[in-house]
Structure 1
Amino acid sequence: MKFAYKFSNLLGSVYYKGNLLFTNDGMSVISPVGNRITIYDLKNNKSLTLPIESRFNYNALDLSPNGYILIAINEEGEAHVISMISKMIIHKHRFKRKVQCIKFSPDGKHFAVCKENTVFIFTAPGLLTGEYNPFVMVKVFHDAVDDVSCIQWSFDSKLLIVGSKDKSTRLYSLEKWMNFKKYILGSHSDAIVGCYFEKKNYDILTISRNGHFCIWECTIEPSDLVLYQPPLKKLKLKDSDSEDDVDLDKALEKTEKEKRISEKTLIDNANNMDNDEVRTTRSKDKIDNKDVKKLMYKRLGKYYLADEVHKSDRNAVLTAAAYHQDTHILVVGFNNGAFFLYEMPEVNMIHSLSMSSQRISSIALNTSGDWIALGSADLGQLLVWEWQSETYAMKQQGHSSNMNCIAYSPDGQLIVTGGTDGKLKLWSTSSGFCSVTFHDHTSSISGVLFSTNRKFILSASLDGTVRAYDLMRYRNFKTFTSPRPVQFSCVALDSSDEFVVAGGQDVFEIYLWSIKLGTLLEILSGHEGPVMSVAFNPNPASTELVSVSWDKTLKIWNAIENGSNHETIQLISDGLYVTYKPNGTEIAVATLDGQISFFDCKTGTQLNTIEGRNDLGSGRSDTDLITAKKSLEGKAFTSLSFTADGNCILAGGQSKYVCIYSVKESILLKKFEITQNRSLDAVDDFINRRKLTEFGNLALVEEREENEGGNVTIRLPGVRQGDMAARNSKPEIRIFSLQFSPTGQAWAAATTEGLLIYSLNVELVFDPFELEIGITPMTVKETLAKGEFSTAIIMALKLNVVVLIREVIEDIPYSDIELTAASIPRAYVERLLKFIANEIEESRHIHFYLLWIEAVLTEHGPKGNAILHLPTLILLQKNMLKKYDDLSKICDFNQYTIGYLKQLSQIKGKQKVKEIEEDVTSDNEVDEENMEAE
């Protein structure tokens, strides 16, 4: 239970490639992020990554019309049928080739899959069809000369339009019609990007890659389609079967096969024709066929949508398009980041905007047509644009390259990440969205930190600066530099938030600054190699500083009091990372030989060692010339993080595994595999034998087209993070940074895929505490009914069932809270407080649980050891702050609404008083006139 961490969310990466989708309510966007799928809830401002994982990156998605089934296909042609209710994969199917697109029919009975130049039609599983085998093939169309690029169904699911790279568009039908056969639309001179049916008719819009746009008008109405009915098959009578000469023996000897044929013919005729049609003759059918109007198309117009783009960029190419049938809005995107909105069928341009300078990969419109989702695979950017108000409903972008470092805020609500692209991003752990991005650094960021008071963050970069950012005003308020240019590889902040240190990568020195004054106080010399990691003692009473370097030394400094005086501890191998235990008594050091060593701070003696190289796991890159077993000798842990209680340590490095070790026993407790994505490099332990030939590894061979500058699969020597100069980039999987949440309920890992969050799900794990034989849910409820509240709470906490604990606590009268809290033993206080902290985040009984918190902290706060309960208190603070932020927004909104209603009532009151006065005045005037008349 303590280490039952499960993947919960993916941050730092919002879109990779493939098509975007809106859910049926139009309030959420479904985005393929590598080999995972993330759903962005725009209404509640939250993101959720589905707990499923593919072996390769997803590139084609579609959602069923009822919203219950999502079919996702990866780049290797493996299809996953995902239930949107249980969020689980319920079936898998292999197409064995890359699938370009997939589309459900509007009636939900079929879905079409495009593979190469072939279109497959399958029956959709569910109640509508009565078929529960997910992939039952109905028809296959393979008329296209080149790969199919897009597909669309008609509104009645009778016709199917397919666009191809062979510059033509084809129409197919599931059933046979008397007035329709396969139809081909030409008129384009480039690959088709989009083809769309109009609503309630069969008119078609087609768009090609060079910006040509055609409108096609259908010659018939949907009601004019006539279903093809095969003619009656008449059974010929033999001479021996005449009425005059009947042979009973021959009739009895009639074969079973002839019986089945005759029965099947009669059944088919009865099903396909009415009684009137049965009586019609074949000659009558021929006459009806001549009267049926054929389905044909006439081109109404041809437009060139790239004119506006070509004014600024002659090389612009149309890369994505989407059409909304209800509002007749067409959206097209180009490879230079520009997108345009047109009103159909007049082709009037409504709006034009540029989201970036990179290619727009996918466009989607929600059900109402108000929101446009735009994805750019090159930037990893996802936008949701509300075109009527010209505002962003969502604008998210991950790091354009790898994340180097992460840091949790003291309350666990925020995570700050620094990337190779020089950007600093702030992520919310509850919503999964990035709230702010800083662009001040001009080079790769090597270290980030949160201040203890959560008011500012620090970042060190290879550009030679350490910057401090204010989280209230979101600006860079201090910049720390060295006397001569130095590439800073690490940064640390003391517990009082007054001093900051940074270690040099090219100059082997450590620099100490004062945050308040912004001046350089000390330069600590002594290392003979690059300083890889520095850390301050977390104990407020200590000003101790430790540092490790490639010179195989660990140095303990007291720089604030004694300057450059230090104690040196010799390591067996190069030091890569150092961190303190939360109580400040021990140090953990990761070295290049794959070991984790623990030292006592006061005596400098080594306490124990963890040999972790074999736990890292092997992984062979496609271009490696050595085996995975041999490459394992060069791997090591590059990031460490203690748990909140200091009993265990989290370690990760140059592999796909994250390990949790026990510090005392020096043993492996659990190992997490962070990815199974074979689209990344060094995931498998062995190279596929298909790639090994008599000439060597095919991955080492440069593959180019006839013209120079074609597809290149080889990367530059020594490049480990993916060669951006190569035409075919395949980054290597590794873990760059790890950190436990201060609440102890989660931990985060910065990896090649993005920022992965693993958290505890206590409701799904049965983990009793000091359980006794007589304690059952029934006995707990009986004890509660007797009024023995403290005993009932203790019994429920021993069972550790969330639903039962909630029922017991909420049944206790609020007047008995103080007495019940005082009678609970100290061993159960932390568990009770942790449950209340988790419950207050989602519960609506806010005041009730606040009374519990006040009673527990008042009674047991001064008695217990605060250090032991610190993660629980941080979790409590985090959830209370989150609840406060949510309620404050509602209260502010209600305050303004009440003020508006109050002003409105005053205005109406004045108007009413004025009307009454006017009525009284008019009545008095009438009375006066009557009196004068009398």
Structure 2
Amino acid sequence: MKSDFKFSNLLGTVYRQGNVLFSQDGSKLLSPVGNRVSVFDLINNTAFTFEYEHRKNVAVVDINKQGTLLLSIDVDGRGILANFKTRNVLHHFNFKEKVYDLKFSPDGKLFALACGRFLQIWRTPETTEDRQFAPFVRYRIHAGHFSDITSLTWSKDSRFIISTSKDLTARIWSVNSEEKNLASTTFAGHRDNVIGAYFSDDQEKIYTVSKDGALFQWEYTKKPGEGEDNDEDEEDVDLSKYSWRITKKNFFHANRAKVKCSAFHAASNILTVGFSNGEFRLYELPEFIMIQQLSMGQNAVNTVAINSSGEWLAFGSSKLGQLIVYEWQSESYILKQQGHFDTLNGLCYSPDGSKIVTASHEGKIKIWDVASGFCLATFDEHAGGVSAVEFAKKGQVLFSASLDGTVKAWDLIRYRNFRTFTATERIQFNSLAVDPSGEVVCAGSEDSFDIFVWSVQTGQLVDTLSGHEGPISCLSFSNENGVLASASWDKTIRVWSLFGRSQQVEPFEVFSDVLSISMKPDGQQIAASTLAGQILFFDVAEGKQVGNIDGKRDIISGRHLEDRFTSESSARSKYFTTIHYSFDGLSLVAAGNNNSICLYDIPNEVLLRRFTVSKNMMLNGTMEFLNSSRMTEAGSLDLIDQDAENSDLEDRVDNSLPGSNRGGDLSTRRVRPAIRVTSIRFSPTANAFAAGSTEGLLVYSVDNTILFDPFDLDVDVTPQNVIQSLDDKEYLNAILMAFRLNEGYLIHRVYENIPIKDIPLIAHELPVVYVSRILKFIGEYALESQHLEFNLLWIKSVLTAHGKYISTNKHQFSSALRAVQRFIGRMANDVVQTYKRNKYTLDFLTNTDGSSTNAVDEDMNLLGNDSDNESEDKEDINMDDDLDGGEWVGFEEKTINLPVNDEDSDDEILL
């Protein structure tokens, strides 16, 4: 069993707080998710999350114009500089004050920070210098505002910066000292906080937007009372007579809704404004013409961004975790994603490992694509929180149990609910198990001591399993023999044979409360996690305990903010609430209401690896040490609201329902979420496992880049060696080196020079690392190539040799298989069209007898010269001889039967 798992992606949440922004080319969108940063590739439809973590939630993030450096800063002012392309952390830095905004200059040499009421300008670390003693060097600091700065905007030439503040003003600053006199202006006149200020494209106008919905236009004009200059020479202009003045005032009139965010695209003069009621508008300046007015819900729009071309708009709402990318010209959505805003209760993998289904306490079920990281569908028909989800073995039917007293079956082909199962009385289901055949579904509840069994075909309750003397806590089905295991509060585990003649079972006695059970895939063993912190293993056939793992010493529980002791002295959550077997039954992964995920080796009963769920200090249970200076007789100083009345009113008002944010102590005034893992599952492909936590859906997978490639060891990879290997007929070495160099002309040359008889052997010896790459290359190359049969032989050989590996890792070959399928479908369509065009010609030639042919030849001889006809006949005979005795180079003689439909020409061959 592999143990080299590492964090690969974060699903289940797409936006938390802070600002979103586009990359310079406009194809990627960066979004803060808690203390991490996620990147959504809008062109290739994929998403990934950076592996590094901040100590607290990310407040601001920005990327330089070259697209190489990513700087993210958390709410405490601690920044992390990372290489955006390689995803490696370069430097950590503490700015020692809360940062409200961050902007790189257009030329990429500087970046500006809004630290409290001060404007700080720093030099961007240069990649040309190999070693830097101080990567962050402060260039200049400006003071002038009387309250916190809310936003920053650079001029297009990187000479000036406009800052807006809560003191109802905006100021313009000069980066260079010699231009200080040109940029010492305060823009005053607004009656509420100024949230944005922007330069026009020609930098002749400045627009300021305030929170109360006012838009002011400023221009550099003459002061009132000054006469006109007779001399229009620019060298004699008296700048003392000029100043920035308001030339136009406009108002949004949003019906008591406050402006939350704004963005301006100078090239197209498009202003986008987001309001506190979920509405966003598009205006064309300077005429102030409203282009569009839409709404993304009833919650506030917290951030807005415009890509470099001005075509796409990105909106983020932190209340429900919504992220939208909108193309305003075509009025269509490029991206619409929303994460869970309540606790994740359960998750399960699809049988092929390509999808993950999550269930939340808000009553929604979401289906996530593992390869892309996007949500594919959402089911919200449950009236209560969804407690468990399970797949049928074939993967086309999903079952869910809910606290609303129903178990629903979902069709994942048509994405609809086709069965609803209920009990004889209204009870809340908290556990679910599905027979591998998909014929029977079972559910248990804490309200009843019985296990309910339904038939999927009829939807009727067919059996009620009685025997437990306490509420049912968890259920688990075997994947092989249809054996059901159940655990109860009566401290027993029972094994039921649903399809056997006798329903009598002997309970397994456990001396502590069972929190979770998992059955080995072969059905021969059961693992049970207890409240005492142990994992017990029982043999089903013998009916006795065969193993024991003490997990208390492996768990890092972490201290809460109000605790007066360290995490080592904490006895809280020293147990596992969710466990799951690996596909081979040799490993087990366990987690609970703590900050640890433990991977165990079952035969040796040892801990293989321990993963830390989160380092976010804004969650209870992540801290280890006690800072006594922060503790008082009344509690921790961190629980006191330092901003009080200085913060915004809408940020202080709590409109959430009591108890809606679970994970803290609901009896206290402040509900602080605690770190926990509610469900954990191994992937059927054995290369990943997923954990549903407070931070979202964490996916840990094996790093495929470290797969063994024997040609990395003793081959000097150069273009000359590739050609030499091809001349020496070492075709496997040649094609592998060509793919490693990733040179198109080399790959084409090697690919076309491989003999047909060697294709099956080379495909069989091809390492799995290169299977996806060669399939994708063939799919793209074959669309323009004339060697139809040659490409088909390659595809057949590769699929024959590696079909089993491809079927178990479908999500890794999705793009390559789509390319191959597109080629085969187009080729089949061309063959069908060619046959249809020549159908009657072929019938004429095949139905013409020899007598008519001879008569035509005699008529032709009468018209021409006999000698000429003889020479032509000789040439024809010679050509026929060449065809009969010759040989087609590079092809074999084969017959391909294609289905032909005269009525429909869009035939496809599905791979």
Does 1:757 pair with 2:699? yes
Deviation at 1:173, TM superposition (A): 0.8
Q: Cα gap change, 1:569/1:129 in structure 2, threshold over 3 Å: closer, same or farther?
A: closer
Decide which of 190, 193, 199 is 1:191's aligned counterpart. 193
Aligned partner letter, 1:87: R
State the Cα deviation string for residues 819-877 of structure 1 (Å, max 9, x = none).
6789x8xxxxxxx785566656765478677444555479xxxxxxxxxx8xx575245
User: What's the counterpart of residue 21 of structure 1?
Assistant: 21
Look up the match of 2:12. 12
2:677 aligned partner, one-letter code: I
**SS across alignment from 1:454:** coil
Out of 675, 678, 681, the position equivalent to 1:736 is: 678
Alpha-carbon spacing, 1:330–1:819, altered in 2? closer, same or farther (3 Å): closer
- CA change 1:898–1:304 in 2 (3 A) is farther
The corresponding residue for 1:264 is none
Change in Cα spacing, 1:711 to 1:693, as seen in structure 2 (3 Å) is farther
Distance 2:832 2:620 in 1: 60
Distance 1:688 1:475 in 2: 53
Whole-Å Cα distance in 1 between the matches of residues 244 and 131 of structure 2?
Answer: 35
Q: Does the 8 A contact of 1:525 with 1:564 survive in 2?
A: no
- Cα pair distance change 1:128/1:740, threshold 3 Å: closer
Question: 1:151 and 2:165 equivalent?
Answer: no
For residues 495 and 730 of structure 2, the distance between their equivalents in structure 1, rounded to whole angstroms, comes to: 56
Q: Does 1:597 align with 2:544?
A: no
2:562 pairs with 1:623: yes
Shift of 1:763: 2.4
Name the CA shift for 1:695/1:104 in 2 (closer, same or farther; >3 Å): same
Q: CA deviation at 1:215?
A: 0.7
For the pair 1:420 / 2:361, whether they are aligned, the reply is: yes
SS at structure 1 position matched to 2:260: strand
Q: Which runs of 5+ in 1 are unaligned?
A: 221-286, 825-831, 859-868, 904-934
Contact 1:620 1:682 in 2 (8 A): yes
Which letter maps to 1:47? A
Is 1:655 the counterpart of 2:657? The answer is no
2:147 aligned with 1:208: no
Distance in 2 of aligned mates of 1:13 and 1:322: 24
CA separation in 1, counterparts of 2:56 and 2:825? Answer: 47
Residues in 1 aligned to 2:564 and 2:545: alpha-carbon distance in whole angstroms:
38
Shifted more, 569-578 versus 721-730: the winner is 721-730
Distance change in 2, residues 1:683/1:897 (3 Å): farther
Alpha-carbon distance in 2 for matches of 1:897, 1:354? 47
Q: How far 1:632 sits from its partner (Å)?
A: 3.0
Cα distance in 2 for partners of 1:377, 1:178 equals 39
Which residue of 795, 799, 815 maps to 2:757? 815
Q: Are 1:742 and 1:874, in contact at CA under 8 Å, matched by a contact in 2?
A: no
CA contact (8 A) 2:343 2:662 kept: no
Counterpart residue identity of residue 412, structure 1: G
Answer whether contact 2:105 2:158 (CA < 8 A) is retained: yes
Per the alignment, residue 892 of structure 2 pairs with: none
| Equivalent position SS for 1:406 | strand
Match of 1:405 in 2: 346
Counterparts in 2 of 1:173 and 1:494: CA distance versus 1, 3 Å = same
Displacement of 1:528 after TM fit? 2.5
3-state SS, counterpart of residue 553 of structure 2: helix
| Inter-partner Cα distance in structure 1 for 2:687 and 2:775 | 14
- One-letter identity of the residue aligned with 1:8: S
**1:177-576 mapped onto 2 (5 Å cutoff):** 177=179, 180-219=182-221, 291-292=238-239, 296-305=243-252, 307=253, 309-310=254-255, 314=256, 316-539=257-480, 542-562=481-501, 564-576=503-515
Q: 2:618 aligns with which of 655, 675, 679?
A: 679
State how 1:718-867 maps to structure 2 within 5 Å: 721-722=663-664, 729-764=671-706, 776-777=714-715, 815-816=757-758, 818=760, 835=769, 844=778, 850-853=795-798, 855-856=800-801
**How much has 1:39 moved relative to structure 2?**
1.0
Distance in 2 between the 1:889 and 1:431 partners? 20
Quote how far apart the aligned CAs of 1:631 are. 3.5
Distance 1:819 1:140 in 2: 68
- Kindly tell me: are residues 24 and 818 of structure 1, through their superposed partners in 2, closer, same or farther at Cα, counting changes over 3 Å? closer
The CA deviation at 1:802 is 13
Decide whether the 8 Å contact of 2:37 with 2:49 is kept in 1.
yes
**Shift in CA distance, 521/513, structure 1 to aligned 2, threshold 3 Å:** same
Tell me the equivalent position of 2:99: 99
**Deviation at residue 95 of structure 1 after TM alignment:** 0.9
Over residues 412-449 of structure 1, what are the superposed CA-to-partner deviations in whole Å (9 max), with x where a residue is unaligned? Answer: 11111111111000110111100110001111111111
| Corresponding residue pairs, total | 795
Q: 1:547 to 1:703 in 2, by over 3 A?
A: farther
The Cα shift of 1:616 comes to 1.4
| Partner SS, residue 570 of structure 2 | helix
CA distance in 1, matches of 2:270, 2:300: 21
Structure 2 CA distance for partners of 1:26 and 1:776, relative to 1, 3 Å: closer
Distance 1:850 1:579 in 2: 41
Contact 1:77 1:99 in 2 (8 A): yes
AA aligned to 2:29 is V
Change (3 A) 1:550 1:369: same
Instruction: Give the distance between the partners of 2:324 and 2:667, measured in 1 at CA.
Output: 27
Separation in 2, partners of 1:121, 1:84: 22
Amino acid at match of 1:191: N
| CA–CA distance in structure 2, aligned partners of residues 331 and 890 of structure 1 | 43
SS across alignment from 1:177? helix
Q: Deviations over 1:573-594 (max 9, x none)?
A: 1111111212222111111111
Match of 1:875 in 2: 808
After superposition, the C-alpha distances for 1:869-897 in whole angstroms (9 at most, x for unaligned) are 8xx57524554566445655788899999
How far is 1:107 from its partner? 2.0
Matched, 1:697 2:636: yes
Name the aligned partner's letter for residue 135 of structure 1. F
Mean CA deviation greater in 743-752 or 890-899: 890-899
Match of 1:646 among 562, 566, 585: 585
- Deviation of 1:295 (Å): 5.1
Distance in 2, matches of 1:734 and 1:802, equals 45
Asked if the contact 1:598–1:609 (Cα under 8 Å) also holds between the matched residues in 2, the reply is yes
SS at match of 2:67: coil
* Contact 2:7/2:698, CA 8 A, preserved across alignment: yes
* d(CA) in 1 for partners of 2:452, 2:101: 55
Matching of residues 20-169 of structure 1 within 5 Å:
20-126=20-126, 133-169=134-170
TM-score, reference length from structure 2: 0.80
Question: Over the residues paired in the alignment, what is the CA RMSD in angstroms?
Answer: 4.0
The TM-score normalised by the length of structure 1 is: 0.78
Q: Could you tell which deviates more after superposition, 472-481 or 596-605?
A: 596-605
Instruction: Render the CA deviation track for 1:506-525: whole Å, top value 9, x for unaligned.
Output: 22221100001110001112
Q: How far does the alpha carbon of each residue in 1:279-321 deviate from its partner, in whole angstroms, 9 at most, with x for none?
A: xxxxxxxx9898446651121111111x2x30xxx3x111010
Q: 1:762 to 1:885 in 2, by over 3 A?
A: closer
In structure 1, what is the equivalent of residue 886 of structure 2? none
